[in-house]
Amino acid sequence: MVRQQQAAGADLDPYFPANGDPRYRVHRYELALDYRPGPNRLSGTARLNAIAGRSPLAEFQLNLADFRVGRLRVDGRTPHYTHRGGRLRIRPAKPVRAGAAFTVEVHWSGNPKPVRSPWGGLGWEELEDGALVASQPVGAPSWYPCNDRPADKASYQIAVTTPSAYSVVAGGRLLTRTPKASTTTWVYEQSAPTSSYLVGLSIGKYQTVLLGDPGLGGVPQTGHVPVRLLTEFSRDFARQPAMMALFEELFGPYPFGEYAVVVTEEELDVPVEAQGLSLFGANHVDGARGSERLVAHELAHQWFGNSVSIADWRHIWLNEGFAKYAEWLWSERSGGRPAQVLAGLAHRGLAGQPQDLRLSDPGRKLMFDDRLYQRGGLVLHAVRCALGDEAFFRMLRGWAAVHRGGVVTTTAFVAHVARYAAEPVDELFASWVHETALPPLPVAVALPLPSAGGVIPARPPYPPT
């Protein structure tokens, strides 16, 4: 037992060692939830199909917030367990053999609420009329039992029963919607490997609209919006299909089967990315495209952060830096300011702030600092300047393709970039990623963005703002 715990400790997330258990992995979750918005009452059943690691599992843990746990089974047998401090420690009746498949069934109920964190409440949030989930980085246990580590990616089936006046939106494909008396059950399937914090869910009173022309093919895109915001939404998200087309051109095929956006009735501090789904607040819809860069940012996360996921939270710049640079690419491509101009603005802003952020290991305190986003975007711009556009965009498409559905680290990205570079890139990454002092602003050699078949015309084909 002691050796097993020591081995697990070597792979724990250094920022959140209480979350996740590297001694096993889950390859599928099947969640059946019943939610009543009025009393904010949630009851659920989870079935986890998992595989033990290289050592026998005499015990393991799931993360689950302060719910009442009812029945719990491992391979159909009742285990010994304790549930304290958000950790469900389970000791099977018989140890699971190394490398063996096993199942866990958990029944739980209670009043869901956000889990506490240095950034406020995370996870399940009760709204005035409905609920939403915003879990990054460790909020998933606020509503279901999970192996809460970004590297443990699994497929999901989620069934939610709620009063019929409410719509349920989750990431993935809607399989069925079944009314029964006064309730409706919605069943979603997300077959692509998904990190626990990226399982998105929203329950509210929405009007569903299509984005783009479904008759033209491409990625199905839907919006779920309060009726009072439909007019503003129709303008603010009008260019999202063009963003999708551009990002597919620059990053490679969209990695999932569909993409949905939800606008809540209430304000949110920032939009929230989930797999195949992004959630925006009413404050992000103004009818004047005032938050269009955020629309681009959240869409880009579907490639960088969701499909290509980080091994642990030290590498979060690989999520946020890529999404930040996608904002600049969209601006450049759609008739706005070029990436070089936006990089200059970001550089000047960073130059006037403390030089104590190390991208490769920012620490838990600074992992959501705006400087990480800006400097992460500048890393991508520096790589683009060093490689040239043709090699840079081949590199991005290769990164998204090779690691689709997988997990990555900063070291892996450096090695990947080196394969496309004519000269060594070690000093570039040492100064931009591993050191704290801000390097000089990189200067682009060429501005036109290449398409998969050549150079994109300088004149933007998408309607300008």
Other CB atoms closer than 10 Å to residue 336's CB: what's the count?
18
Encode the chain in three state secondary structure: CHHHHHHHHHCCCCCCCCCCCCCEEEEEEEEEEEEECCCCEEEEEEEEEEEECCCCECCEEEECCCCEEEEEEECCECCEEEEECCEEEEECCCCECCCCEEEEEEEEEECCCCECCCCCCEEEEEECCEEEEECCCCCHHHCCCECCCCCCCEEEEEEEEEECCCEEEECCEEEEEEEECCEEEEEEEEEEEECHHHCCEEEECCEEEECCCHHHCCCCEEEEECHHHHHHHHHHCCCHHHHHHHHHHHHCCCCCCCEEEEECCCCCCCCEEECCEEEECHHHCCCCCCCHHHHHHHHHCCCECCCEEECCHHHCHHHHHHHHHHHHHHHHHCCCCCHHHHHHHHHHHHHCCCCCCCCCCCCHHHCCCHHHHHHHHHHHHHHHHHHCHHHHHHHHHHHHHHCCCCEECHHHHHHHHHCCCCCCCHHHHHHHHHCCCCCCCCCCCCCCCEECCEECCCCCCCCCC
301 among annotated binding-site residues: yes
Whether residue 427 is annotated as binding a ligand: the answer is no
Q: State the binding site.
A: 297, 301, 320
> Binding site residues for Zn(2+), as ranges?
297, 301, 320
